[in-house]
Amino acid sequence: MMSVEKVLKRDRLCRALTGLAPQEFRDLLAVFAAALAQAAMDAYLTDPHRKRKPGAGRKLFAKTAEEKLFFILLYYRIYPTFEVLSFLYDRDRGNVWHAYDALSPVLESALGKKLALPKRQIKSVEEFFEAFPEAKEVFLDGTERPIQRPKNAEKQTANYSGKKKRHTKKNIILSTRKRRVGYVSPTIKGEEHDFQIVKDTRLPDHIPKKVRIRMDAGFQGFLKEFPGHAVSMPRKKPKGRPLCKTFKEQNRRKSRIRILVEHAIGGVKRFRIVADVFRNKQENADDRAMLITCGLWNYHLDATSC
């Protein structure tokens, strides 16, 4: 088994394997250990047939909280196959899958305690300001992740993205100028247009109209659907005519600012589980992967801004 202590002594290696700096790892460890203990107690209290106390029963090959946190971060950062993980840890494929399945909700809980997880729903102005305190502007964009081609013909059609020319899953995100992701929508099939997801969720209904929303030209019709909002969007070239120099310069200025949302998405996609072709088959695994990686990115930003 890999030595976690050796990894934590090498900053660059630690970032490459976990996505976090050594001190960020150590700071998260205390909360992760508490979440582990709480998960064990919850499993004990909610199972009416359980007779043994927490700690009894099947053990993970990663014994300590430190080893468990390193394992799950390694999985999200590198996204190796379970065959590769079983080789690295000298365990059966089923053992490493069980560890991933057991530790993912614990990592999510720990990030929640660190206040790093983005909102999944915003249903009021109050909830908006909980996610974006004192916000004067937010950045709206969609992001797609490739998935394996479904065998079912209907699922193939539903998940096919005409924009990416492949099968994908999609999310809408809202981020800040500091690249922090404050909201991520439920995961949607790739055939849905970004603007259609915004209309379905009615997200702008709960964004104060004084808050400027920066977006790309893919959200044409936004002000018709959500009138009264302060919107910054590039102008599209008129059909059959070039865009004048003034509008081109305005578009360049807007793009220099709007690119910050792409930086936020790029930060989340440092974790290969949401950048590579997604292989996991469990229900909602793709949605949890997006939530956790957004939380890890936010946690990293919060730690570096202190």
pLDDT for 8 equals: 95
Query: Are 111 and 295 within 8 A, CB to CB?
Result: yes
Q: In sequence order, which residues have a C-beta less than 8 Å from that of residue 48 and are 6 or more positions away?
A: none
Could you tell me the pLDDT band of residue 244, with boundaries at 50, 70 and 90? Answer: confident
The whole-number average pLDDT for the span 290-298 is: 98
- Residue-wise pLDDT for 2-59, tens only, equals 789 999 999 999 999 999 999 999 999 999 999 998 887 777 667 666 666 665 556 6
% of the chain at pLDDT higher than 70: 94
The DSSP string of 200-213 is: HHTGGGGS-TTSEE
Amino acid at position 292, single letter: I
Mean pLDDT of 200-220: 94
Residue 293: CB atoms within 10 A of its CB come to: 26
Residues in a beta bridge with 47: none
Torsion, Cα 173 174 175 177, to 10 degrees, reads 140
State the pLDDT at residue 45.
Answer: 61
Q: Where are the alpha helices (DSSP H) in 123-181?
A: 125-131, 153-159
Q: Residue 35's closest CA among 118, 129, 109, 127? A: 109
Give tens-digit pLDDT for 83-133. Answer: 999 999 999 999 999 999 999 999 999 999 999 999 999 999 999 999 999
**What integer pLDDT is reported at residue 2 of this predicted model?**
76
The answer to whether 295 and 72 are in contact (CB under 8 A) is no
Instruction: Round the average pLDDT of the chain to a whole number and report it.
Output: 92
Average pLDDT over residues 276-287: 94
Question: Is 289:274 a contact under the CB 8 Å cutoff?
Answer: yes
pLDDT of residue 160: 92
The pLDDT of residue 237 is above 90: no
User: Taking the CA of residue 122 as centre, how many other CA atoms within 13 Å lie in the half-sphere pointing to its CB?
Assistant: 25
Q: Is the pLDDT of residue 262 over 80?
A: yes
Q: Which residues contact 116 (CB under 8 A, 6 or more apart)?
A: 295, 296, 298, 299, 302
Number of residues assigned to the chain: 306
Of 218, 217, 151, 143, nearest to 183 by C-alpha is: 143
C-alpha 66/C-alpha 56 separation (Å) is 20
Nearest to 141 by CA among 109, 159, 163, 124: 163
What the chain holds in terms of domains, given with CATH numbers, is 4-113 (no CATH), 125-305 (3.30.420)
Q: Which residue has the higher pLDDT, 169 or 58?
A: 169
Tokens standing for 180?
A: 């922090």
C-alpha dihedral (264, 266, 267, 269), degrees to nearest 10: 130
Crossing angle of helices 93-113 and 82-89, in 10° steps, is: 100
> What does the DSSP 8-state code read for residue 114?
T
pLDDT at 247: 85
Q: Which residues pair with 146 in a beta bridge?
A: 168
Q: What is the mean pLDDT of residues 170-191?
A: 96
Bridge partners, 140 (sequence order): 174
Nearest to 296 by CA among 134, 130, 104: 104
Q: What is the pLDDT of residue 51?
A: 66
Between 238 and 172, whose confidence is greater?
Answer: 172
